[in-house]
Amino acid sequence: MREMTTPSMLVFAAAGAAALAVLAVVLLRVMNKRDLAAEPGPAADPGGESLTIKGKTYGLHTLKNVAGPAHWALSLAVGCPHTFSVHREDAFEWLLDHLGVMTKVASGNAHYDEEFEINSKEPDWTAKFFSDEENRRLVQELFGLDCSAVILNKGRIQVVFEERDALEEGADALSELAARLPKA
């Protein structure tokens, strides 16, 4: 067996440490995404609360983030049977996309598709929904308010904000987007 020199041992140790760090980040992100996909709000989650903004009542849930500060999910019941999630693409999504774990949906707008990652169990319906310029504009508006995700799941649409101060301003765009969704 060949002896490892000190420099090659350091390279080997650094590669092992990097692999463990990537695995830890992947696990934390998967745990956080599971939390973000939970149904917030008083009707769906006993830990949720309600928040009334301009006479409209929203579900509000504080999401404890394992890897950082808390986020706030503002949601509305919409009765839409479809699902999708939108977030900015990062290294984790790039990895999952290239491993074939997630299905990325194209909106038909190249600039938008470079900026956002859209995933869905119903790619045809989702592609049609995001081919509409107004739907894309509303989601962009939400992301301009420090939104980290827009999720439609189980008849609720929720927007995850990084700053609690963005809730009131984001409520208008969330309401407009919710009104554009089909009902069951």
pLDDT per position as a tens digit, 91-130: 556 665 666 655 789 999 999 999 999 998 889 999 999 9
Q: Tell me which H or E stretch contains 24.
A: helix 6-36
* Amino acid found at 35: D
Q: How far apart are CA 1 and CA 100, in angstroms?
A: 38
DSSP for 106-123, written as a single string: --S-HHHHHHEEEE-S-H
Q: Which residues pair with 72 in a beta bridge?
A: 62, 161
pLDDT of residue 48: 79
pLDDT of residue 63: 83
Q: 0.85 exceeded by the pTM?
A: no
DSSP for 86-104, written as a single string: EEE--HHHHHHHHHTSS-B
69-96 exposure pattern, b = at least 16 Cβ within 10 A, e = fewer? eebbbbbbbbebebbbbbbeeeebbeeb
Phi, psi for residue 83 in degrees, rounded to 5: -135, 145
The mean pLDDT values, 10 residues at a time, for the chain of 184 residues are 58 49 42 40 55 93 80 92 86 60 84 92 93 97 94 92 92 96 87
pLDDT of residue 145: 94
